[in-house]
Chains A and B, each alone.
Chain A
């Protein structure tokens, strides 16, 4: 079947999509957006997290046919012409990226958290990221990155007032 949807603001079209195929497969293998990672394929790891109509979801658990006519925003859509998103910059500056496999999912999930809650508590952060697994090591640098992104975001908001 053919599936058409919007990916990072641009219309995309995928042909010969198998009916049981996931959105993740379509993104990675059919429309050239391999940023979302394929690890567990059962919603356990969060590496494939994307926005679907503005809500973060595991793209491995969305059937391709379900996104017909809808809007998807992947990790590739976080940065704009002016550069990286503050969340991405904070992950680099805090050293929160090791092998990098879990990073795209963490970035999208953190992006959503800070949109809803610019100044989250540590508990809020842990809860928001509870569905994103990093197997390199502990999560402390990731926590640092989210706190840093939050601080910068609040600073920026304060400055523009």
Chain B
């Protein structure tokens, strides 16, 4: 096994081109578990810790460019304003020690349907992009809706590395909810991310751990956006009513295709998704109404 330690992004791309089967490691919170339990023996490990730009973020044109290795702790401390949904999701990752090391790049690279960041990224809208690059073909942006292609599979090529994620700054309230046996060290039984996007009159959803890939509840999004527009609710901030909330929950539930496994049954996952959808919608809509009322 080789241990590769590139000092720059270009060196990292060169190393990945030379060793396409090299396993990238940053926080190590997934990779090292596989290593310790001998689940995986890659030909090479590609350490990204020396590439400082991967641990940086900036905001340009109302878009957060989040380095792949920015640890969850810093997302919580530094980005809960512009990325409230992702910051809430980050807060449910592992434990403080895990959050000090792990970042969104690892969640995306692993592409596990249970990754905590995915529902928040999907909910943040269709303009979320994963920036990947290879030495041969340069940089490309993959829309989040095209990124997840199967269980633990993403649409990246073997010679590509994740540099950063582009996430629009929140223009409305966002929420994240997750089911687990305790409040820490939990792999989601299922999870749900939700965001209101008043600027373009859309809503965002993200379902975790209840399908082969993280996915959005498209019909639920369209239904709710339709109701909000038809009834002028974006302007009035009036109550949604039980029927709308209930229907939204049912549509989210219908969008999932969960399985029975050690963490929970498919039926429980469907049920809890409907509950989480109703709750997160209620929380965010109450926050939004307050904003409308205080602005009036």
Chain A interfacial positions (CB closer than 8 Å to B): 1, 18-20, 22, 41-44, 46, 49, 55-58, 60-63, 65-66, 68, 109, 127-128, 130-132
In the assembled complex, B35 has its CB within 8 A of some CB on chain A: yes
Q: Which single member of A19, A41, A57, A66 contacts B97 (CB below 8 Å)?
A: A57
In the assembled complex, B61 has its CB within 8 A of some CB on chain A: no
- Structural contact, B36 and A41, CB atoms closer than 8 A: yes
- Structural contact, B97 and A63, CB atoms closer than 8 A: no
Q: Which single member of B44, B49, B101 contacts A61 (CB below 8 Å)?
A: B101
- Structural contact, B32 and A68, CB atoms closer than 8 A: no
B residues 1-53 with Cβ under 8 Å of A?
A: 1-3, 5, 25, 27-29, 31-33, 35-37, 41, 44-45, 47, 49
Residues of B within 8 A of A57 (CB): 97, 100-101
- Structural contact, B35 and A22, CB atoms closer than 8 A: yes
Residues of A within 8 A of B28 (CB): 61-63, 66
- Structural contact, A131 and B1, CB atoms closer than 8 A: no
Known pairs A18-B1, A19-B3; A63 contacts B35 (CB<8 A):
yes
Alpha-carbon distance A56/B95, docked complex (angstroms):
11
Nearest-neighbor residue (CB-CB) of B183 within chain A: A130
Residues of A within 8 A of B44 (CB): 19
Residue pairs across A and B with CB atoms within 8 Å: the count is 89
Chain B interfacial positions (CB closer than 8 Å to A): 1-3, 5, 25, 27-29, 31-33, 35-37, 41, 44-45, 47, 49, 94-98, 100-101, 183-185
- Structural contact, A41 and B33, CB atoms closer than 8 A: yes
Nearest-neighbor residue (CB-CB) of B98 within chain A: A43
Residues of B within 8 A of A109 (CB): 96-97
28 A–B contact pairs at CB < 8 A? A19-B2, A19-B3, A19-B44, A19-B45, A20-B45, A41-B33, A42-B37, A43-B29, A43-B95, A43-B97, A43-B98, A55-B100, A56-B96, A57-B97, A58-B98, A61-B28, A61-B29, A61-B98, A62-B28, A63-B32, A63-B35, A63-B47, A66-B49, A130-B183, A131-B95, A131-B96, A131-B185, A132-B95
Which among B94, B183, B185 has the highest number of chain A CB atoms within 10 Å? B185
Residues of B within 8 A of A131 (CB): 94-98, 184-185
Nearest-neighbor residue (CB-CB) of B30 within chain A: A61
- Structural contact, A20 and B95, CB atoms closer than 8 A: no
Alpha-carbon distance A19/B42, docked complex (angstroms):
10
Residues of A within 8 A of B100 (CB): 55-57
Residues of B within 8 A of A19 (CB): 1-3, 44-45
- Structural contact, B36 and A22, CB atoms closer than 8 A: yes
- Least CB distance from B141 to A in Å reads 28
Known pairs A61-B101, A65-B3; A127 contacts B96 (CB<8 A):
yes
Residues of B within 8 A of A20 (CB): 1, 35, 41, 45
Residues of A within 8 A of B35 (CB): 20, 22, 63
Residues of B within 8 A of A68 (CB): 5
Residues of A within 8 A of B101 (CB): 57-58, 61-62
Alpha-carbon distance A5/B28, docked complex (angstroms):
18
- Structural contact, B5 and A62, CB atoms closer than 8 A: no
Alpha-carbon distance A41/B36, docked complex (angstroms):
6
Alpha-carbon distance A55/B27, docked complex (angstroms):
12
